[in-house]
Amino acid sequence: MDIHALHQVVHNSRDSRRAQALPKLSPAERDTLIKKYHPDHREAAYRPVAFGPNAGDLTVRELASVLEGDSPVPTELTLTPDYTVDVLVVGGGGAGCAAALHAHAEGAKVLLATKLRLADSNSVMAQGGMQIAVAPNDSPVQHFLDTLKGGHMKNDHDLLKTMVEEGPSIAKWLLELGVLFDRDPDGNLHVKKGGGSTKERLLTCSDYTGLEIMRVLKDEVLNQKIQLLEFAAAIELLSDEQGTCTGAVLQDLDNKRFVVVAAKAVILATGGIGRLHIQGFPTSNHYGATGDGLALAYRMGAPLVQIDTFQYHPSGGVYPEQLVGQLVTEGIRSEGGHLVNSKGERFVNELDTRDVVSSSIIRECEEGRGIRTATGRVGVWLDTPLLEAEQGEGTLDKHFPAMVRQYERYGVDIRKDPVLIYPTLHYQNGGVKIDSNSETSVKNLFVAGETSGGLHGRNRLMGNSLLDLMVFGKRSGLTAASRVKTASQGKLTLTHLQRFRAESKKHGVTSQVISPMVLPAYTRTQNT
Ligand code: MEZ
């Protein structure tokens, strides 16, 4: 059936849905739902990691291969530095920019290397907002409790306490730099409620929040004249004989040459793993989200945490094909958008935590109450015209201009027609284990942002990622800069890589995978 004909069930059911009581799930029912339908619980998708700091831990097959993969760097590479700096920051997204700016402000000589262009990242694509407890009826303690509940009580308490307590100072810093957060008519910051939160706590810039923050941070990195290498991918770290991190090998993506950087401290801020397309899922992630930092840190001996849990954002695009997997912000549900199955019914509290909402959508689709497209994809409706009907014409243009344009480009008017959605791979809940200064178990190796793990537990709340980036970007930058004031540059060796290769051989790993992957597997090279 034509997609427009299928919309009718959404339009026709609006009145009955307004009167519908939503299912209220007990903790046990939520648990059963997640175990039955959430992709984290598909046993066949997992296997133990063969060797290294997380030997024996279960993770998805795609990530296990990347962690066990071999380096593109030959162990006999001559390690004469092309650059010598205090702090090397790897990654040009929110965490990388924040780390570089704070380290630079502390007086460190910083080099920021990024494999694409400055700001090409998941951060720039963040839509729905940034959680910070700034409202008078809110507090960092309440933010802590909401996040802990959303993360199934598995969050690292020290990291979480640090994040929520530093939130207000981050808001101040961003405002001073010039970020234009939305405001109420009285001039106060406008705050919205996200899924799993008890208070209005999301700071937004309509649905361009990440773009606006990165506009300002990118400008600031350029204004501060921080040394920048674009199209330079980190492909191996360097260590001295004691295993301390002493720099990195980059690869110039234009001419494939290796570039050796001697650094007293390295901060990895390389983002997530969406482009590994775990379990065949489409992703909302940026093109560069190939989990590079996880592989680099793992080879140095840094343990990872919670590598068995990933976030499948409830609303990824299903139709049109060009938008498959693209983010449809949770902000639409925060503003009252209903999720609707093929029978015209709501089936979940749209503002429940993401794992519950995604599991419910998957259940509807698996039990035959999904809507199938001509290309064989399946999803449920998100009733976007409801916002126009309830809050007045122009609501979507005012609050969601990015989404209106994104769909308009393909002939879909979300003011008039609902959009079809299904969970999309959005975030890695786990990552490299860090302390509250963002340092890993490897001396002078720091990790900030999505590459790190533990803060969000087994399910991240909406808007906590942007705050995570800023807080731990800042702390890694400040700690690294203060460390290098008294540290001397260590020897540049690949001892850790020799050890890693010997371990791999001992465990009979025969994988042909080269990691980090740098670009997705389907990237076209000049020869294809
Ligand atoms: O934090 C996020 O993942 C977020 C705000 C996403 C969104 O739905 O907009």
pLDDT digits (tens, 9 = 90+) for 159-186: 999 999 999 999 999 999 999 999 999 9
Minimal-distance CA residue to ligand 1 atom 2? 462
**Is residue 60 included in any domain, yes or no?**
no
Mean pLDDT of 463-487: 97
Taking the centre of ligand 1 as the mean of its atom positions, its distance from the CA of residue 364, in whole angstroms, is 23
pLDDT recorded at residue 521: 86
- The residue from 393, 425, 457 where one domain ends is 425
Q: For 271-305, how does the pLDDT look when each residue is reduced to its tens digit (9 = 90+)?
A: 999 999 999 999 999 999 999 999 999 999 999 99
Residues 236 and 292 in one domain: yes
**Is residue 156 included in any domain, yes or no?**
no
φ, ψ dihedrals at 237, nearest 5°: -95, 165
Residues 245 and 259 in one domain: yes
Three-class DSSP labels, 185-241: CCCCECEECCCCCCCCCEECECECHHHHHHHHHHHHHHHCCCEEECCEEEEEEEECC
Q: Which atom of ligand 1 is nearest to the CA of 194?
A: 5
Please indicate whether residue 333 is annotated as part of the active site: yes
Query: Residues 290, 277, 284, CA angle at the centre, nearest 5°?
Result: 80
Residues 6+ apart with CB under 8 A from 84: 261, 262, 263, 489
Q: Which of 270, 269, 252, 253 is nearest to 261 (CA)?
A: 252
Whether 465 is in the pocket of ligand 1, judged by its Cβ within 6 Å, is yes
The residue from 143, 201, 299, 313 that is catalytic is 313
- The residue from 425, 447, 467 where one domain ends is 425
Q: Is the dihedral of CA 455, 273, 420, 37 positive or negative?
A: negative
Secondary structure (3-state) at 163:
helix
**Is residue 106 included in any domain, yes or no?**
yes
**Is residue 194 included in any domain, yes or no?**
no
Whether 125 is in the pocket of ligand 1, judged by its Cβ within 6 Å, is no
The enclosing domain of 479 has a CATH number of 3.50.50.60
Distance between CA atoms of residues 460 and 151, nearest Å: 6
Give the pLDDT band (50/70/90) at residue 22: confident
**Is residue 59 included in any domain, yes or no?**
no
Q: For 317-337, how does the pLDDT look when each residue is reduced to its tens digit (9 = 90+)?
A: 999 999 999 999 999 999 999
In angstroms, how far is CA 367 from the centroid of its own chain?
30
Question: Is residue 318 a contact partner of residue 339, using CB atoms and an 8 Å limit?
Answer: no
Q: How far is CA 358 from CA 142, 241, 313, 321, 363, in A?
A: 25, 47, 7, 20, 9
Residues 252 and 334 in one domain: no
Question: Is residue 179 a contact partner of residue 212, using CB atoms and an 8 Å limit?
Answer: yes
Residues 109 and 228 in one domain: yes
Q: Which long-range contacts (CB under 8 A, 24 or more apart) does 363-366 make?
A: 363/33, 363/36, 363/37, 365/422, 366/37
Residues 406 and 320 in one domain: yes
Whether 317 is in the pocket of ligand 1, judged by its Cβ within 6 Å, is no
pTM of the model: 0.97
**Is residue 54 included in any domain, yes or no?**
no
In the β-sheet with 304-305, what is the strand arrangement from edge to edge?
A: 304-305, 431-433, 452-453
Residues 280 and 365 in one domain: no
Taking the centre of ligand 1 as the mean of its atom positions, its distance from the CA of residue 20, in whole angstroms, is 27
Residue 524 has pLDDT above 90, yes or no: no
Whether 205 is in the pocket of ligand 1, judged by its Cβ within 6 Å, is no
Taking the centre of ligand 1 as the mean of its atom positions, its distance from the CA of residue 465, in whole angstroms, is 8
Please indicate whether residue 11 is annotated as part of the active site: no
Taking the centre of ligand 1 as the mean of its atom positions, its distance from the CA of residue 231, in whole angstroms, is 27
Residues 113 and 225 in one domain: yes
Whether 195 is in the pocket of ligand 1, judged by its Cβ within 6 Å, is no
Q: Could you say which DSSP state residue 493 is in? A: B
Residues 271 and 405 in one domain: no
pLDDT recorded at residue 528: 47
φ, ψ dihedrals at 217, nearest 5°: -65, -40
Residues 6+ apart with CB under 8 A from 264: 85, 86, 87, 246, 444, 483, 484, 487, 488, 489, 490
The enclosing domain of 377 has a CATH number of 3.90.700.10
The residue from 333, 338, 346, 354 that is catalytic is 333
Whether 127 is in the pocket of ligand 1, judged by its Cβ within 6 Å, is yes
**Is residue 153 included in any domain, yes or no?**
no
Name the burial class of residue 80, with classes exposed (0-12), middle (13-18) and buried (19+) by CB atoms within 10 angstroms of its CB: exposed
Residues 272 and 345 in one domain: no
Whether 129 is in the pocket of ligand 1, judged by its Cβ within 6 Å, is yes
**Is residue 117 included in any domain, yes or no?**
yes
- The residue from 392, 425, 458 where one domain ends is 425
Q: For 231-283, how does the pLDDT look when each residue is reduced to its tens digit (9 = 90+)?
A: 999 999 999 999 999 999 999 999 999 999 999 999 999 999 999 999 999 99
Query: Which structural domain, as residue segments, surrounds residue 415?
Result: 3-37+311-425
Minimal-distance CA residue to ligand 1 atom 9? 128
Number of domains in the chain: 2
Whether 69 is in the pocket of ligand 1, judged by its Cβ within 6 Å, is no
Residue 488 has pLDDT above 70, yes or no: yes
Taking the centre of ligand 1 as the mean of its atom positions, its distance from the CA of residue 283, in whole angstroms, is 13
Minimal-distance CA residue to ligand 1 atom 6? 128
How does the average pLDDT of the chain come out, rounded? 96
Residues 335 and 478 in one domain: no
DSSP states along 63-104: HHHHHHPBPSS-TT-----SEEEEEEEE--SHHHHHHHHHHH
Residues 318 and 303 in one domain: no
φ, ψ dihedrals at 192, nearest 5°: -120, 165
Q: For 179-207, how does the pLDDT look when each residue is reduced to its tens digit (9 = 90+)?
A: 999 999 999 999 999 989 999 999 999 99
Residues 442 and 419 in one domain: no
